[in-house]
């Protein structure tokens, strides 16, 4: 492809990763653009009334990567960094993630360029509803199913569902996932990504012969993914020695008190103010010695600069795209030193349970929590086994193995179906 609307560092990252995998799989040049470039991209202007009486317009996007396996699926992000390139990269990653987990979806992602923490609750509701309203012609339970991502939550999903339903004249629970239970959500969705991260870390520890009770963890990002990953790892006996969010970073090699952390987050909603003693520079946190490092915040935090200095045994990618291709090459050169749980495997718990939510909504039949987690762990176990087996067999990094499995699934579906999807 000579020119496209997709650009920027995050899109470039998704493209480079794909090229590496396509080279490894010897995918013909002719087939590459069709696998990489999104099928559809939608850009919308979302005007809302601000509380001070002004009208302001926010830019919103939705990228649907491919339609080959079923509807598209993926989160909606409210963040100042959002642009079409970032959203496209995240949609592409969703495709490989869903394919690796065996879900009948293509990838999608959406977002609004906004700092949601600078909006009042009324403004946030107005913007969420307006965004969904603009998207109504392009989404549907069998077309494209949204979910939460950075800066959005269950309440935003409830507003999305309600706005779509008002338009249809009936309740359509299955239009979005990650909803509150009272709006047709599933048990376990809120905890799914974090608990999935902890499950896979547990498997990696077993693989390396490290008892969970002897292990230490540092978690970057304390939103829905990072916080639940921290609590679940602590329940497994892992010592949490470092945490950070956009307000503060804390590190104590002797262990942080997780019960106190939980209490503080419940009271204040952010890490700032947790303790005055264990404060650390956020960029320093990533390179402290630990067994498990969990980047669970934003993209491109493990880079060509700091990858040489990581002192962890397991890198568990709770975030999407935390590791740049330069960092990947360095980690690969470091050989077996660091066991990478790549994002499309490590954080797949969220979309897997979103799939369960969609299935339950379509069937109007709801499962018990034990069933949700039992099925989740079975899928994660299969993906974990497939990834490490393929990596070993082909002598390739875990990320390349996981992506190769995902890309192969999409590629063979495209081959059997033809050019349309
Ligand atoms: N936003 C999440 C992700 O990046 C969840 C997507 C979903 O549940 O559809 O995987």
Considering only CA atoms, which of 397, 205, 214 is closest in space to residue 307?
Answer: 397
Instruction: Let me know whether 227 and 319 are in one domain.
Output: yes
Contact 46, 60 (CB under 8 A): yes
Instruction: Let me know whether 287 and 212 are in one domain.
Output: yes
Contact 345, 384 (CB under 8 A): yes
- Pocket test of ligand 1: the residue of 144, 351, 360, 402 to mutate, having most ligand atoms within 8 Å of its CB, is 351
pLDDT tens string 45-104: 999 999 999 999 999 999 999 999 999 999 999 999 999 999 999 999 999 999 999 999
- Domain count for the chain: 2
Q: Among 313, 347, 381, which residue terminates a domain?
A: 347
Phi-psi domain of 102 (left: phi exceeds 0; alpha: psi -120 through 50; beta: other): left
Instruction: Let me know whether 27 and 151 are in one domain.
Output: yes
Please report which confidence band the pLDDT of residue 344 belongs to, taking 50, 70 and 90 as the band edges.
Answer: very high
In a domain, 222, yes or no: yes
Instruction: Let me know whether 15 and 159 are in one domain.
Output: yes
Q: What does pLDDT average to over the chain?
A: 97
In a domain, 100, yes or no: yes
Q: How many helices (H) and strands (E) does the chain have?
A: 14, 11
Residue 109 annotated as catalytic: yes
Please report which confidence band the pLDDT of residue 262 belongs to, taking 50, 70 and 90 as the band edges.
Answer: very high
Q: Quick one: pLDDT at residue 71?
A: 98
Q: Quick one: pLDDT at residue 3?
A: 86
Instruction: Let me know whether 232 and 85 are in one domain.
Output: no
Asked whether residue 2 carries a pLDDT value surpassing 80, the answer given is no
Of 3-7, 124-128, 240-244, 387-391, the poorest mean pLDDT is in 3-7
Q: Among 318, 347, 376, which residue terminates a domain?
A: 347
pLDDT tens string 101-152: 999 999 999 999 999 999 999 999 999 999 999 999 999 999 999 999 999 9
Contact 77, 110 (CB under 8 A): yes
Instruction: Let me know whether 246 and 138 are in one domain.
Output: no
Q: Ligand 1 in contact with 320 (CB < 6 A)?
A: yes
Instruction: Let me know whether 31 and 126 are in one domain.
Output: yes
Tokens, residue 222:
């304390």
pLDDT tens string 174-186: 999 999 999 999 9
Q: Ligand 1 in contact with 75 (CB < 6 A)?
A: yes
Tokens, residue 49:
């009334």
Q: Give, in order, the Cα–Cα distances in Å from 89 to each of 70, 129, 131.
A: 19, 25, 20
Q: Ligand 1 in contact with 350 (CB < 6 A)?
A: yes
In a domain, 391, yes or no: no
Instruction: Let me know whether 212 and 106 are in one domain.
Output: no
In a domain, 364, yes or no: no
Instruction: Let me know whether 96 and 215 are in one domain.
Output: no
Q: Whole domain around residue 279: which residue ranges?
A: 191-347
Instruction: Name the 3-class secondary structure at 250.
Output: strand
144 C-alpha to center of ligand 1: Å? 13
Q: Ligand 1 in contact with 157 (CB < 6 A)?
A: no
Please report which confidence band the pLDDT of residue 421 belongs to, taking 50, 70 and 90 as the band edges.
Answer: confident
Q: Ligand 1 in contact with 354 (CB < 6 A)?
A: yes
**Residues 6 or more apart from 156 whose CB is under 8 A from it?**
76, 78, 124, 128, 148
Tokens, residue 70:
């079923």
Instruction: Let me know whether 144 and 256 are in one domain.
Output: no
In a domain, 396, yes or no: no
131 C-alpha to center of ligand 1: Å? 18
Instruction: Let me know whether 231 and 143 are in one domain.
Output: no
- Pocket test of ligand 1: the residue of 14, 147, 379 to mutate, having most ligand atoms within 8 Å of its CB, is 147
Q: What is the pTM (predicted TM-score) of this model?
A: 0.97
Active-site choice (39, 73, 97, 109): 109
Q: Ligand 1 in contact with 113 (CB < 6 A)?
A: no
Q: Beta partners for 147?
A: 75
What CATH number is attached to the domain comprising 43? 3.40.50.10860
Sheet holding 239-244, edge to edge: 249-251, 239-244, 216-220, 292-295, 314-316, 339-341
In a domain, 392, yes or no: no
Instruction: Let me know whether 80 and 229 are in one domain.
Output: no
């Amino acid at each position: 492809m000579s020119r496209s609307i997709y650009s920027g560092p995050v899109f470039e990252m998704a493209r480079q990763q794909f090229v590496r995998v396509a080279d490894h799989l010897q995918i013909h040049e002719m087939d590459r653009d069709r696998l990489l470039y999104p099928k559809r991209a939608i850009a919308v202007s979302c005007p809302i009334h601000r509380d001070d009486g002004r009208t302001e317009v926010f830019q919103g996007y939705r990228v649907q990567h491919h339609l080959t396996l079923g509807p598209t699926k993926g989160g909606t992000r409210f963040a100042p960094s959002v642009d079409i390139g970032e959203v496209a990269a995240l949609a592409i990653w969703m495709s490989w993630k869903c394919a690796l987990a065996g879900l009948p979806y293509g990838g999608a992602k959406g977002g609004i360029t906004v700092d949601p923490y600078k909006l009042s609750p009324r403004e946030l509701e107005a913007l969420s509803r307006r965004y969904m309203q603009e998207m109504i012609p392009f989404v549907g339970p069998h077309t494209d199913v949204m979910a939460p991502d950075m800066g959005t939550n269950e309440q935003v999903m409830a507003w999305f569902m309600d706005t779509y339903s008002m338009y249809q004249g009936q309740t359509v629970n299955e239009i979005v996932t990650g909803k509150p239970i009272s709006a047709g959500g599933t048990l376990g969705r809120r905890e799914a990504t974090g608990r999935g991260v902890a499950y896979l870390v547990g498997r990696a520890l077993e693989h390396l012969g490290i008892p969970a009770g002897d292990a230490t963890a540092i978690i970057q990002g304390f939103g829905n993914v990072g916080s639940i990953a921290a609590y679940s790892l602590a329940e497994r006996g892992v010592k949490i020695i470092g945490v950070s969010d956009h307000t503060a970073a804390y590190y104590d090699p002797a262990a942080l008190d997780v019960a106190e952390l939980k209490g503080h987050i419940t009271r204040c909603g952010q890490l700032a103010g947790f303790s005055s003693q264990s404060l650390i520079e956020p960029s320093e946190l990533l390179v402290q010695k630990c067994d498990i490092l969990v980047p669970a915040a934003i993209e491109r935090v493990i880079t060509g600069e700091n990858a040489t200095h990581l002192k962890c045994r397991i890198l568990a990618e709770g975030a999407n795209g935390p590791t740049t291709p330069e960092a990947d090459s360095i980690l690969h050169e470091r050989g077996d030193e660091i066991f990478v749980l790549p994002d499309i495997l490590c954080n797949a718990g969220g979309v897997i349970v979103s799939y369960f939510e969609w299935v339950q909504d379509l069937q109007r039949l709801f499962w018990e929590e034990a069933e949700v987690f039992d099925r989740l762990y079975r899928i994660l176990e299969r993906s974990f086994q497939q990834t490490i087996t393929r990596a070993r067999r082909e002598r390739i990094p875990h990320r390349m193995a996981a992506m190769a499995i995902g890309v192969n699934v999409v590629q063979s579906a495209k081959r059997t179906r033809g050019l349309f999807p």
